[in-house]
Structure 1
């Protein structure tokens, strides 16, 4: 009997993976129905969505009164959201009591913020130094002149008339741009070997972190004028800016200090061995690594700061939420869904900004994740 052996002369064509490990059914089995508990939770979640989504669609779109509608339509029984009310009061939500004839001034500020701020957020955008000088030096001065007026033929508009999204963006942008550098300085001061500087930084951080923001704003509004010379007053917006910035900088300092403590001792010793001084050692070796490690914490503070701007009503400023609350009491638009429509609009604005900040931070986490690439 003769043995016949067969040797393949060509590579066998690739076969598709078994259906049980690929495709939509495999994904569902792996992620939604991998166990009895997961299957029960998935079914309950689907039932909840089947109940929620039709009602949500009906309130927001199906039974809603679109922009351009009338107040009588918003007063119909079982009506949905009154977007006609939001569209009618959108200018107040954005500008507050700012004079209508001067809306072009905050509009220019908004445009400058976008044109100068967005390029700074794009890593490969050219002329970074010139752009930074324009944003951090020229833009604040131009914004104060445009918004306040009183010079160059511009009508003077006191900060008491500012409000809405304008105030929210001013406080959040100023707070974010100043809280981070102040927090870094406080973190460095807390780790300083000079007893006076370390004690001052520790006392400031622990004092601010021991009280809520509303207490800081209340002190800035009520107590600060008592310590000022007779006849001297402090602008309400300035009080809010100082209070929010100092409060956020204290929390930022602890976040940065946590990142610095995560850096191995060898990095400090290696920087010292290179002959680098303290500031170069921190600026070129330690802080870049520390800040990379604590990006989620820094961004979390930024998001908290943006949302905490709604507390500036303590000092008499009408931010976006307070502007919505003020107009919700308007008699001319009194309707069953008037208030909830305004609050949904405010929540949507806050969500858009906070979600954008969060997504941008994820981008930087992936971009700076060089130490873990394979």
Structure 2
């Protein structure tokens, strides 16, 4: 007999100690494994073996089958992904989504981590996205924001929230650390007041209440008011994350830079903030993940993002029974983006050696 590799032997011994230390523990482990295996098999059978994948036969074929009805996705995927966007122009919405994904991927590459490159990527990417979605230039048909929907709208709200909210969060964090009490206390009151409110109430206030408080020329479109509300909410939470990162920087570094005569802005931008953002990286990635998932809340104020588009996809009389499959598909879309953000955060932690001082 060939001997086990030392690493394999260690893993086997570890599993035995963790799950099969006593007869009772071994019985519970085997019962749990059997239960999980049974559930996994039933899920696989429902989702794959007994499922209906093609659109042929329509709802009748799905009702006759015992598994999942993926044909609802084959028939209604355009509504889910593009919402109310005009049918003949949906290629623009799809290309806009690709542009946003490429823009995010390029921003994540270490080779692009310079101010000029990041600025060029985001200015070009946002400009192309907005030009494609709205049109009115280069012979493209004009499509107002009220017709935007699906994945493109979700990505637009997420990216805009982060682009506006992140710099605002840094400003709020620095203001809260001000040595002038009236500045730090007022900033703290603003941050704590925003954090004490649910995001839905802020979105509703910016969408419905704010127009009654502002003149017509200052109101703007409802979509942009909602984005500003979401960005303000993001900034309040991220400001506390940044402030925590600043507090984690050794006080002696700031004192040493002051003793050397380094100016405030150079001290903040070159010494304190880089270290603070390194300290706050795990919490920052978590905040980005939360913000992406919270884009679904804009359905409350009447926007057709991907979740609302999914509701419309099965809301017709012939597909009302297939809501589980629609939500499973939307969950997969969310999972792809959220899992990618989480894995990138883990890569950054390894790249920057977080916690290995």
TM-score (norm 2): 0.91
Q: In the aligned structure 1, how far is the partner of 2:21 from the partner of 2:263? A: 57
Please identify, of 184-193 and 222-231, the stretch whose mean Cα deviation from structure 2 is larger.
222-231
By how many angstroms is 1:113 displaced?
2.3
Q: In the aligned structure 2, how far is the partner of 1:128 from the partner of 1:114? A: 19
Q: Does 1:294 align with 2:296?
A: no
Q: Which residue does 1:8 correspond to in 2?
A: none
Q: Does 1:72 align with 2:60?
A: yes
Please identify, of 249-258 and 127-136, the stretch whose mean Cα deviation from structure 2 is larger.
127-136
Distance change >3 Å, CA 180–CA 19, structure 1 → 2: closer
By how many angstroms is 1:45 displaced?
2.6
More helix by share: 2
What is the aligned length? 355
Contact kept, 8 Å, 1:162 with 1:318, in 2: the verdict is yes
Q: Which residue does 1:56 correspond to in 2?
A: 43
Contact kept, 8 Å, 1:236 with 1:315, in 2: the verdict is no
Contact kept, 8 Å, 1:236 with 1:316, in 2: the verdict is no
Q: In the aligned structure 1, how far is the partner of 2:8 from the partner of 2:337? A: 39
Equivalent positions of 1:32-47 (< 5 A) are: 32-34=19-21, 39=26, 41-47=28-34
Contact kept, 8 Å, 2:299 with 2:307, in 1: the verdict is no
Q: In the aligned structure 2, how far is the partner of 1:231 from the partner of 1:168? A: 27
By how many angstroms is 1:329 displaced?
1.3
Q: In the aligned structure 1, how far is the partner of 2:158 from the partner of 2:269? A: 26
Q: Which residue does 1:199 correspond to in 2?
A: 185
Q: Max radius of gyration: which structure?
A: 1
Q: Which residue does 2:86 correspond to in 1?
A: 99
Q: Does 1:245 align with 2:231?
A: yes
Q: In the aligned structure 2, how far is the partner of 1:68 from the partner of 1:120? A: 39
Q: Which residue does 2:75 correspond to in 1?
A: 88
Q: In the aligned structure 2, how far is the partner of 1:170 from the partner of 1:189? A: 29
Q: Which residue does 1:353 correspond to in 2?
A: 337
Distance change >3 Å, CA 36–CA 270, structure 1 → 2: farther
Q: Does 1:312 align with 2:326?
A: no
Contact kept, 8 Å, 2:173 with 2:243, in 1: the verdict is yes
1:324 alignment partner, one of 306, 310, 333: 310
Cα deviation 1:228-262 (Å, max 9, x = unaligned):
22587531211221111110110000111111112
Q: In the aligned structure 2, how far is the partner of 1:225 from the partner of 1:142? A: 29
Q: In the aligned structure 2, how far is the partner of 1:61 from the partner of 1:21? A: 33
1:271 alignment partner, one of 244, 247, 257: 257
Q: Does 1:116 align with 2:116?
A: no
Q: Which residue does 1:146 correspond to in 2?
A: 132
TM-score (norm 1): 0.87
- Consecutive unaligned residues of structure 1, counting only runs of 5 or more, are 1-15
